[in-house]
Amino acid sequence: MSYFFRHWRLLARMVERDLRSKYVGSMIGLFWTVINPLLLLLVFTFIFSVIFRARFNNQPGVASSALYILCGLIPWLGFQEGIARSSSYLTENRSLVSRVKFPVHILPGVPVLSGFCGQLIGFVALLVWAGVKGKIELPAVLFLPVWMLLQIGLAMGLAYAFSAVAVWVRDLAQLVPVMLLVWMYATPIFYPAQLVPERLQIAVWINPVAHLVEGYRKIILEGTMPGKAQTLYLLGATLTSMAIGALIFARLQNKIADRI
């Protein structure tokens, strides 16, 4: 996706505008990106750690459980926001799509990068907390940007595919949030992967976001690098997602303006 580099200034301005528009009139603005996951964290930590008494990462205590959940919740929120919004982003910006000289191919990337920027704010709080608990270790944490790039690539591919198809299948904008909700509960974010029955472990293994979340936990909570098999699988899933998304968008791009 070399066109990102050709139009990076425009893309950066649009991401900034998108971030501002989401919190226009809000008293605390971007801090909602921290407050929202914290509120969800309180609910799910109480349910899984207090009521069901699940042990996370073999560490006792509610604080360890909360840190474990937060390490999966923050990247998931950044991941799903971009994909959910991409399914209606082209129709919401039809005035830009209809302009002859506007680079339409950068539009699906805007909600993905906007959601990731919100994730970064939450990650600052997470890294500070993990650092206070003595979890941050070198050189594993230096691998964090690479893992983030894999996350962005995985989300980009899905966003490009959904944004283009949704121009023809408008119901997709309603279906994608439901799919993402199912995907969230199928990913070991609020529970340890070990709790999944053995006959269903294959569903966890083929889920690229499960590998993404577990990789974040290894880097931040365990101070170790993600395994080679885990990294290669996520890399393969990311490249496949980007290739399919780019192919679908390229096939439909010339017809999008007329359809909208």
77 contacts 36 by C-beta, under 8 angstroms? yes
More confident residue, 22 or 176: 176
CA 63 to CA 171: how far, in whole Å?
41
254 in any annotated domain: yes
Written as six digits, the tokens of 109 are 């990337």
Q: DSSP string spanning 173-225? A: HHHHHHHHHHHHHHSTTSS-GGGS-GGGHHHHHT-HHHHHHHHHHIIIII--P
- 189 belongs to a structural domain: yes
CB 221 within 8 A of CB 68: yes
Q: Which domain holds residue 136?
A: 7-259
Residue 1 within any structural domain of the chain? no
Do residues 102 and 121 make contact, with C-beta atoms less than 8 angstroms apart?
A: no
Residue 181 falls within a domain, yes or no? yes
Instruction: Read off the pLDDT of residues 97-130 as tens digits, 9 standing for 90 and up.
Output: 887 678 888 999 999 999 898 888 888 878 887 7
Going by C-alpha positions, the residue among 103, 73, 117, 118 that lies closest to residue 209 is 73
- Confidence at 251, pLDDT banded by 50, 70, 90: very high
Domain count, the chain: 1
Q: What's this model's pTM, rounded to 2 decimal places?
A: 0.88
Residue pLDDT, tens place only, 50-79: 666 666 666 656 667 778 888 888 899 899
Q: How many CB atoms lie within 10 A of CB 12?
A: 11
d(CA 156, CA 158): 5
Rounded to whole angstroms, the Cα distance separating 249 from 86 reads 12
- Does residue 209 sit within a domain? yes
Mapped onto helix, strand or coil, the DSSP state of residue 56 is strand
Q: 193 lies in a domain?
A: yes
- Give the Cβ contact number of residue 8 at 10 Å: 11
